[in-house]
Each structure stands twice: as C-alpha cells, then as structure tokens.
Chains A and B, each alone.
Chain A
C-alpha cells in the first residue's frame, strides 16, 4: 500500500483505526484545523447557494434516491443489460469479484499489450483496490493526472477527500513538494504557477502514455455507455491520446436510463463543489477507431453490503463528498484520520462493512447531528446507519473498544471529583451505562477542557416532591 508521510497515529492495537487519536493529532495544529474547517465550510456554503438556484431541489433528491434504490434492487438485471449494450458498443466488459481480481485484470490488459506507462484520472475505486502499488510492483509507471491526486501521489500519501484529494495541504506545502519532485523554484507557492508546472509535467506523461484508466460516475444500462465527470479535462486528454482505455467502476454505478442523467448531473456538481455542472461531463459510448476500451465491473464487498438490510442504501452514494464538507467532525479531523479510502460519514458507513473490527471507531466519529443526511443528494440516511453500525460494533464483540471510544477517550484518572460524585449519583438513578470506573475516566475526558455543571442543592425530583407532593 501507498506509504503516507502524514504522521498520524491512525493505527492502534491489532491494526485497528484509532480515530480519536488521529483526530487529536490533527488538532495539535490549531491553525491547520481552523483553515481546513473553513475551507470545507466555504464549499458547503457554495453548495447551499447552488442548490438554492434549482427549483424543487428536494424533489430532485427524492427522485435521485428512488432511481438509485430501484437500480440497486434490480442490480442483476441492469448490470447484465449494461454488459450486453456496452459489448454491442465495442467495449470489452470484465467482472472482478474483489480488489485483487480487479488489479489482475488491469495488469493483464496492460501486459498483453506490452503497455508500461499508465495515466489515470481520479478513481477512488482504484485507491480502494490498491491498484497503484500493485502495478508499480510489476514495473508499470502509474501517474495520477488529477492535480490533487498527483500532489498526494508525489508525497506518497493517499487522498484525504474523495473530491478534493489534497484539501489537507496548504499551497506552501504543495510548493515544497513540487520543488522537491518537479524542480520548481524553492518557495514558489503561487497556485497558478504551481498548476502551470503540474500541467507541463503531466503533458509529457499524457503524450507518452500507453494506456489510460478512468473512473466511471454513471454507467447507463439502456445504452451501454458511461459518463466521466472531471473539472480538469484530464480524463478526456487521457482518453483522446492513449491507445487503450480502461474504465474501472463499482457495480453500484449503474443507472437504468439515459434520462436519469438529467437528475444526477444536476445534483452531482452542485452537491460536490457548488458548481452548476462539472467542467467536463464526458459521455463514452464506445472506443475511438483503433482504440481498445475495457470496462471492469468491481464488486469488492458491494454485494455483501447490498445484502445487509440495515446498510444497503449506503450504495446509493454518487461520491459527491457533500457529507464530508458538511461534517463538523470531518472538517476538524481531516480525511486521513479515518484510515479508509472513503472518509467522512459515508466512509464511516461503507468501510465498517469491509472489516468491522478494524474500523470499529469510525461509526463513533460523529455526534449524529444529521447534517450529512440532510445534505446528501441521494438521501442516504447516514446518521441512522452510523447509529446501527454502533450496535453492530458492540454485538461484534468489539465491546471494550466501543466502550473505550464511547465512554473513555482518556486514560487520565479522576481529576474532577465533583463531577464524578454527580455522575455516580446519576448512575444510581438510572444511567447504568456509566459504571463508576468508566464514569471516572469520562470525568477525566470531560474535565480536561470543561467545567463540570455546578451541582444544585436538590434535584428537580426532590423539589417536585416538596412543592407538588402527592401528584402522580
């Protein structure tokens, strides 16, 4: 897997992701946390303005949700129809059960053609599959061409956001990376100049590429075509130049009809960045003359998630990232703190399905405020699913971990005896989830930054008995 230079202690005992610890490390740099939060909130506000310009936005969300639920509950039919029509269109369709099979298929296509140089546009699926290190280990040069992805690739990191992969970095840090890797002048931090340098650098890679790999935003069953949305045109340049085009897609990306695009394309960019539409929405309906076009349909745990009554609706996700931008925890803990390809609320719902023990802290990285659910363009009930995953984490036997995340948060011993006494009193009257030792630790985590409530002379119940005695 890609090495991450961002020094976060995300992995704890037994390879488990420790979100509270990673979030605490992120917050050690208050200025960065403030700036990260403000950058994402800016995007959220831009999204609000863009959404407000669309009449019946809420009806559009409901429509999108219904289409996705229909597609997901008829996935077998639509995938086969897509395969038939895509094949008719001259595409070669491959099926991959898991990440490893996906990587083997992609490598097989490259090896058969003797291809050594691959340019990629943004694809979270290939991040999920660990494609880059797989291919690099087999002598293939892989270049991510999305600017943000190229930045994190040069730094040996993973993306921290699915739409803005380098949102955790300041322009000065990008300048230092470019100076180091691309030879730009030391201290250069002007965004336009840096983008220009990246353009020069990437242009050579585009021209030299043997193969291009793109993601897929929407695959249309009735036409056998698919749509790729980018703002940089990098997918288009790759597709226009390379003799081989591989499109990797999760099986949940299929939609029934071409007219459904009228719903999703209006929602996607507005939700993602507050743009009316992405700069490029490219419709692919077959290979160029002389080009080979492969589509790889990847399951990698999706059918398992689909079979889960409580969580299958998470597969409606169109990867806009709006839930990340709005999430007050994501904004203040950074994408890397989740230790998963997809971070934020949707990541905390999707990723536990892959390995519940490893990702047990993610469903607890939320106040269940519900902003994610309200912002989601396909109306995924994210906060409800987070709540349900918490129950499954406890049932799964990650009880001590769950308790630690939920109750403890600190190993410090009691430093607020007054709160402890009051919590103990509370425990006696019915808050049975806080047995005394846990309450003591909770008091430590509470009291480090907050005063305890001032205990009143009597409880309401005592007052009530005295003043309204006999009632009830």
Chain B
C-alpha cells in the first residue's frame, strides 16, 4: 500500500466513463493527494441490493470491504455508491464476511469525491487548481448524494441553505450556473428502476432535461455518472446537443475537450 487514501471507481464508470475517473485522479493528484486505485473490487453491491437482492449483494460488498479496509480514507466517485457503502458495509460482518468490525470501519472511512474536496480540502484549496470553464451549466446533484450524503440542502428541509457542489464550482472561473424551476427533482434513473419502470423513468428524465434547457443551460454538471448516463442517453436520442460532465471533469479542466 503506497498511500492511505484510495479512490473507488464504480463498475459503470470504469467501463463507460474512464475519462471521468482519470479526471478525478488528476484533480486529487494536482491537489497533492497521493491516491491508490486498488484492484479487486469492481462494484459495491448496490444494484443487487436495490433490486431486492441485498443478501446476494453482500458478497460483493464484502469484497469491497476486504480491498478497502487498509485505507484511512476511501473516496467514492459516485454519491449513490458512497451512500450504499456507508449504510450497508457495517452489515457485512453480520453476514459472515468478516470476523472483526472491518465493515463498520470502512463505512465510516468512506466518503464521496465532492464531499472529500469540500469538507477535507476546502474550497480555497480547490481554487488553487485554477480551473476555468466558459459557459452556463445546470447542476444536477444525485438524490443519494443530496439527501444521503448531505451535499446540499434538499428543498424539502427548512434549514439554512448550503450547497457544496456549487461551492466547488464557484472556484471555476467563467462558469455560470443556471437556476432551475425544480432544483433537486430526481432524474428518474434509479438503477434498475430505469429498466423496471422505463416509461416513468423516461418521463422523469425528459422533464428534467426540459427544466435544464428552458433555463438556458448549455451543459449539465453532476456528482453522479449514473444520472448522467440516463440523461445523456435521452438527450442524445433526441439530438439535443447537451453535453454532460462530472464535477471532476470541470475541475480537471477536461470538460468540453472530448
């Protein structure tokens, strides 16, 4: 183990969006963080669990715990996966995968990319990246990142407003943020929901895209590639010409270069 900080690249990011993982790694390295991306755990087990197969998913999660247990900090490149690990890794011991409290420790040490940058490095540090972006974007925070990790104030809660993603993007020169009518409406991906309830899922996505485009956004920036895989799939089918980026790409300065 060369570093105490690990980056977890979820299965679908590894396969479909390697440039996002490269951007995240680049950002962390430029910020002076020495990061490992250990091999051996491709998935956190969330897709199975959310489909009702948590017991089956536990072997996947147990593997995750085994691989990441040696690290002090585990940065997950997906709000949704991070929430799953934080909520369920502690259960792994109960299912016989571990004999000690490794699962609970991994759960505690797991964070998400934007949370890590904001909470542990700080916006001033991020500003040191000198990232620039020219254009007006809509920000889409995944629901699990929003409500499960507390990346921003969910619109339901009557608490002091905050938004860690906007705070990070505030450090990007030239980037403008479009205000949406429904700031945190779900995009309709929902993992297996996207194929289990394809009609409602599609309608939700199209409504989200309409909100985004009618408010003048020329691109979408998100914490979660899973949301974007769905939104981008819909947008490309409709030839909308609406590029979508992970926050890491914007901070790395690679957004728009593809």
A interface residue numbers (CB < 8 A to B): 19-20, 23-24, 27, 33, 37, 41, 48, 51-52, 54, 57-58, 326, 328-329, 332-333, 363-371, 373-375, 387, 390-391, 393-394, 402-410, 422, 425-426, 429-434, 441-442, 445-446, 448-453, 455-456, 458-464, 468, 471-472
**Known contacts A445-B195, A461-B14, A468-B37: A430-B43 contact under CB 8 Å:** yes
The answer to whether B113 has its CB under 8 Å from any CB of chain A is: no
Known: A58-B157, A374-B157. A429 touches B11 (CB 8 A): yes
Q: Any chain A CB within 8 A of the CB of B241?
A: no
Known contacts A449-B202, A458-B18, A463-B22; A370 and B196 CB within 8 A of each other: no
CA distance A24 to B197 in the complex (A): 8
9 further contact pairs, Cβ within 8 A, besides A442-B192, A461-B9: A20-B198, A363-B52, A371-B156, A371-B186, A375-B156, A394-B51, A402-B51, A432-B60, A472-B39
Decide if A27 touches B199 in the complex (CB within 8 Å).
yes
B173 on the A face (CB < 8 A): no
Q: B236 — which chain A residues lie within 8 A by C-beta?
A: 450-451
Q: Can you give 12 A-B contacts (C-beta < 8 A)?
A: A27-B203, A58-B157, A328-B188, A365-B200, A366-B193, A371-B186, A405-B196, A406-B195, A459-B14, A460-B37, A462-B18, A463-B18
Q: Verify A328–B158 contact, CB threshold 8 A.
A: no
What per-residue 1/0 map shows which CB atoms of B116-159 lie under 8 Å from chain A? 00000000000000000000000000011011100000111111
Q: Contact between A472 and B233 (Cβ–Cβ < 8 Å)?
A: no
Q: Which A residues touch B229, using CB under 8 A?
A: 453
Scan B207-247; emit 1 where CB is below 8 A from any A CB, else 0: 10000000000000000000001101110110000000000
Beta-carbon contact of B185 and A328 below 8 Å: yes
In the complex, residue of chain B having the shortest beta-carbon distance to the beta carbon of A28: B199
A472 in complex: contacting residue of B38, B60, B201, B237, CB < 8 Å: B38
Contacts A48-B155, A370-B143, A371-B143; is A450 near B200 (CB within 8 Å)? no
Q: A394-B52, A426-B15 are in contact. Are A450 and B233 (CB under 8 A)?
A: yes
Within 8 A of A (CB), among B16-34: 16-19, 21-22, 25
Contact check, A449 vs B14: say whether CB atoms are below 8 A apart. no
B167 CB within 8 Å of chain A: no
Contact among A41, A391, A425 with B55 in the assembled complex (CB-CB below 8 Å) = A391
Q: Does B53 contact A (CB under 8 A)?
A: yes
The contact of B202 among A329, A450, A464, by CB within 8 Å, is: A450
Measured CB to CB, the closest approach of chain B to A444, in angstroms, equals 8
Give CA–CA (A394, B155) in the complex, Å: 33
Interface residues of B in 172-203 (CB under 8 A from A): 182, 184-186, 188-203
A255 to B21, CA, bound (A): 53
Bound together, the chains give a CA A408 to CA B195 distance in angstroms of 6
**A27 vs B22: C-alpha distance in the bound complex, in angstroms?**
40
Flag whether B36 is at the interface (Cβ < 8 A). Answer: yes
Closest to B47 in A: A433
- Which residues of B approach A to under 8 Å, CB–CB? 1-2, 9, 11-19, 21-22, 25, 36-39, 41-43, 47-57, 60, 143-144, 146-148, 154-159, 182, 184-186, 188-205, 207, 229-230, 232-234, 236-237
Among the listed B16, B192, B200, which residue makes an inter-chain contact with A455, where contact means beta carbons less than 8 Å apart?
B16
Complex-state Cα separation, A402 to B55, whole angstroms: 15
Closest to A329 in B: B200
Please give me the residue from chain B that is nearest to A388 by CB atom: B54
**B142 and chain A: residue at smallest CB distance:** A369
- Say yes or no: A371-B147 contact (C-beta < 8 A), given A430-B60, A455-B16: yes
In this complex, the member of A51, A367, A430, A434 whose beta carbon has the largest number of chain B beta carbons within 10 angstroms is: A367
- Is the CB–CB distance between A329 and B22 below 8 Å? no
Q: Which of A20, A326, A390, A441 contacts B52 (CB 8 A)?
A: A390
Alpha-carbon distance between A19 and B196 when the two chains are bound, in angstroms: 10
**Complexed CA–CA distance, A27 and B12 (Å):** 29
Instruction: Tell me the complex Cα distance, A41–B243, Å.
Output: 28
Query: What chain A residues lie within 8 Å of B155 (beta carbons)?
Result: 48
Q: How far is the CB of B95 from chain A (nearest CB, A)?
A: 13
Which residue in A41, A58, A409, A464 is a CB contact (below 8 Å) of B158? A58
CB contact between B234 and one of A332, A426, A432, A450 (< 8 Å): that residue? A450
Q: How far is the CB of B24 from chain A (nearest CB, A)?
A: 10
Given the interface pairs A367-B188, A367-B190, A472-B38, the reply to whether A433 lies near B233 with Cβ below 8 Å is no
Chain B residues within an 8 Å CB radius of A326: 156
**Measured CA separation A82–B113 after assembly (Å):** 53
**B2 A471 Cβ-Cβ under 8 A:** yes
B224: min CB distance to chain A, Å = 12
Query: With a CB–CB cut-off of 8 A, which chain A residues contact B234?
Result: 449-451
Please, how many angstroms separate the alpha-carbon atoms of A33 and B206 in the complex? 12
Specify which of B14, B52, B154, B195 is in contact with A442 (CB 8 Å cutoff): B195
A445 touches B198 (CB 8 A): yes
Closest beta carbon of chain B to A424's beta carbon, Å:
11
Establish whether residues B147 and A426, one from each chain, have CB atoms under 8 Å apart when the complex forms.
no
| Beta-carbon contact of B16 and A453 below 8 Å | yes
- Report the bound CA distance from A273 to B17 in whole Å: 43
